[in-house]
Structure 1
Amino acid sequence: MNRHSVNDLVECSLQRWYRTVSQWRRPVGGTPTGCVACRSSDFAVFDRLGHWPHDLIHSLVETLDLVSMQLAVALHEERHCANENGRATAPCNACIAQAQSTANSCAQRHAQDIADVVNECAMPRLAVYVEMNTNLALNAATRGEWAS
């Protein structure tokens, strides 16, 4: 695949993710042990400090994983199936590794945009959500609705 096609694929995928972030309203529940997909993904590095809502970073990881798999299939077919009439059933490990590296490199060029979208769209909403829930908890505790 040529570089422009890869850039277009990543940029279109990120545009869809940006729309998801712009429509985000509040966090969904997580798990006590954390998300295995996000912990093991190189794409989770975009939230280095772990401050973003998990559902947003998880969505980004899924988006970039999908891009990687699409690239891996295209790379595999380009390299290994040129003389065959059929498509490959699954890309090889080398094509998957190169596709992940390529997607990560391309996404890193958009790192500032990714951070800006989260910081401008989601973080103010998260702050309002946290403040609202903190106030509800404080009010309930003050009224004695919670017993220790």
Structure 2
Amino acid sequence: MNRHAVNDLIDCSLQRWYRLVSEWRQPAAGTEAGCVVCRDSDFSAFDRAGHWPHDLFHAFVETLELVTFQLAVALHEERHCRGEDARSTRPCSPCLSAARSTVQACAYRHAQDISDVITECALPRLAVYVEKNINLALNAATRGEWAS
């Protein structure tokens, strides 16, 4: 598969995710234990500190996992299905590994952009959301609306 086509696939996928981050407004409900899909993904290293809102991180992981699968299918078809009429839908393990390492390498080349879009777009909105909710809770407690 052409290196430029692979980079375009990954770049376009990341651009869609960047747009999602730029339009993001407030976090969705999360879980205390964290999401198994995100926790078990090879791409979880991008948010080791756990600072990203989960819904954005989940979308990031899903994006890169989907690109990995698409690339693995393309690599498998290119390597193993030449001249066959049937298209492959299940790539072999070596093709999946090659795709994963390619996507990881490309994503790490974009690490600064990924970090910047989270820092500039999402984290300020998250801070405002958290502050607003803290103020609402403090006001309710001050007025005696919460009794312990």
Equivalent position of 1:66 in the other structure: 66
In structure 2, C-alpha distance between the alignment counterparts of 1:56 and 1:47, rounded to whole Å: 11
In structure 2, C-alpha distance between the alignment counterparts of 1:32 and 1:48, rounded to whole Å: 16
- The amino acid across from 2:8 in the alignment is D
Pairing of 1:1-148 with structure 2 (within 5 A): 1-148=1-148
CA shift at 1:85, angstroms?
2.1
The alignment yields a C-alpha RMSD, in angstroms, of 0.9
Normalised by the size of structure 2, how large is the TM-score?
0.97
In structure 1, C-alpha distance between the alignment counterparts of 2:76 and 2:105, rounded to whole Å: 19
Residues 86-95 or 53-62, more deviating: 86-95
Deviation string, structure 1 residues 21-79 (Cα, Å, up to 9, x no partner) = 00000000012221000000011211121101001110000000110010000000011
CA shift at 1:2, angstroms?
1.8
- The amino acid across from 2:102 in the alignment is T
Residue 77 of structure 2 aligns to a residue whose secondary structure is helix
The runs of 4+ residues in structure 1 deviating greater than 2 Å are none
Give the gaps of 5 or more residues in structure 2: none
CA shift at 1:83, angstroms?
3.2
Task: Provide the identity percentage.
Answer: 71
CA shift at 1:81, angstroms?
0.4
In structure 2, C-alpha distance between the alignment counterparts of 1:14 and 1:100, rounded to whole Å: 15
- The amino acid across from 2:143 in the alignment is R
- The amino acid across from 1:143 in the alignment is R
Deviation string, structure 1 residues 73-108 (Cα, Å, up to 9, x no partner) = 000001110132221131111111111111011111
- The amino acid across from 1:107 in the alignment is A
Give the gaps of 5 or more residues in structure 1: none
In structure 2, C-alpha distance between the alignment counterparts of 1:88 and 1:35, rounded to whole Å: 30
Residue 60 of structure 1 aligns to a residue whose secondary structure is helix
Count, aligned residues: 148
